[in-house]
Structure 1
Amino acid sequence: MKFKAGLLALLLSGQTFSSVMVGADNAQLQYTGRIDFADRAKPVLSWPGTSIAANFTGSSLSVTLDDQLGKNFFNVFIDDKPVVIEAAQGSKTYAVASGLQAGAHRLLITKRTEGEEGGTVFKGLELADGGKLLPPPPRKQRHIEFFGDSITSGMGNESPDDGPDHLLKDKNNYLSYAAITARALDAEAHITSQSGIGVMISWFPFTMPDFYDQLSAVGNNDSHWDFSSWTPDVVVVNLFQNDRWLIDREKRLSPMPDDARRIAAYRTFVQKIRALYPRAYIVCALGSMDAVQEGSKWPGYVRTAVDQMRDGGDQRIDTIIFPWNGFGGHPRVKQHQANAALLTDFIRKKAGW
Structure 2
Amino acid sequence: MLREYAFNEVGSLKVHGRTNGCLNPLTLFWTASGFEVNVTGSELWMEVEGDYSVQEPWISTRINGAWVSRQMVNRGRQWICLFRGRNPKTVKNVRILKDMQAMSEDPDHLLQVLALRTNGAFLPVPEKALRLEFIGDSITSGEGAIGAREEEDWVAMLFSAENDYAVMTGDRMDADVRLLSQSGWGVLTAWDNNPHGAFPSCYEEVCGLLSGQRNADLGAHQVNDFGAWQPHAVIINLGTNDCGAFSSPEWRDEASGETFQQRRLEDGSFCPEDLRRFQLAVIAFLRKLRLKNPDSYLLWVCGMLGNELCPAISEAVEEYCQESGDRRASFFELTDAVDLRGARNHPGRGAHELAARELAEKLTQLLS
TM-score under structure 1 length normalisation: 0.87
Match of 2:234 in 1: 235
Aligned ranges 1:61-140 → 2 under 5 Å: 61-69=44-52, 71-79=56-64, 80-103=66-89, 104-116=91-103, 118-127=109-118, 131-140=119-128
Aligned ranges 1:19-38 → 2 under 5 Å: 19-25=2-8, 26-38=10-22
Match of 2:321 in 1: 310
Aligned partners of 2:74 and 2:153: how far apart in 1? 22
Aligned partners of 1:93 and 1:217: how far apart in 2? 29
Could you tell which deviates more after superposition, 331-340 or 100-109? 100-109
Aligned partners of 1:168 and 1:77: how far apart in 2? 19
Match of 1:168 in 2: 156
| AA matched with 1:43 | L
| AA matched with 2:57 | N
| AA matched with 1:309 | Y
Match of 1:9 in 2: none
| AA matched with 2:205 | Q
- Checking the alignment, whether the CA contact within 8 Å between 2:43 and 2:120 is kept in structure 1 is no
Gap change, CA 1:41 and 1:243, over 3 Å in 2: same
Match of 1:350 in 2: 366
Aligned partners of 1:172 and 1:248: how far apart in 2? 28
Aligned ranges 1:299-338 → 2 under 5 Å: 299-312=310-323, 313-326=325-338, 329-338=345-354
Match of 2:210 in 1: 219
Alpha-carbon distance, 1:161 to partner: 2.1
Gap change, CA 1:133 and 1:114, over 3 Å in 2: farther
Match of 1:14 in 2: none
Alpha-carbon distance, 1:60 to partner: 1.6
| AA matched with 1:126 | R
Aligned partners of 1:345 and 1:37: how far apart in 2? 33
Work out which of the residue numbers 3, 7, 28 in structure 2 matches 1:45.
Answer: 28
Q: Helix, strand or coil: the match of 1:132?
A: coil
Match of 1:54 in 2: 37
| AA matched with 2:40 | T
Work out which of the residue numbers 287, 306, 323 in structure 2 matches 1:271.
Answer: 287
| AA matched with 2:98 | K
Match of 1:148 in 2: 136
Q: Deviations over 1:291-343 (max 9, x none)?
A: x1xxx2x1011101111022121111111111223357110000000011011
- Checking the alignment, whether the CA contact within 8 Å between 2:58 and 2:72 is kept in structure 1 is yes
Alpha-carbon distance, 1:81 to partner: 4.7
2:206 corresponds to 1:209: no
- Checking the alignment, whether the CA contact within 8 Å between 2:13 and 2:125 is kept in structure 1 is no
Aligned partners of 2:116 and 2:5: how far apart in 1? 5
Alpha-carbon distance, 1:276 to partner: 1.2
Alpha-carbon distance, 1:173 to partner: 1.4
Match of 2:256 in 1: none
Aligned partners of 1:41 and 1:339: how far apart in 2? 36
TM-score under structure 2 length normalisation: 0.83
5+ residue gaps, structure 2, are 212-219, 252-259, 264-272
- Checking the alignment, whether the CA contact within 8 Å between 1:72 and 1:86 is kept in structure 2 is yes
Aligned partners of 1:168 and 1:287: how far apart in 2? 24
Alpha-carbon distance, 1:188 to partner: 0.9
- Checking the alignment, whether the CA contact within 8 Å between 1:119 and 1:218 is kept in structure 2 is no
- Larger helix percent: 1
Alpha-carbon distance, 1:122 to partner: 0.6
Alpha-carbon distance, 1:223 to partner: 2.7
- Checking the alignment, whether the CA contact within 8 Å between 1:47 and 1:217 is kept in structure 2 is no
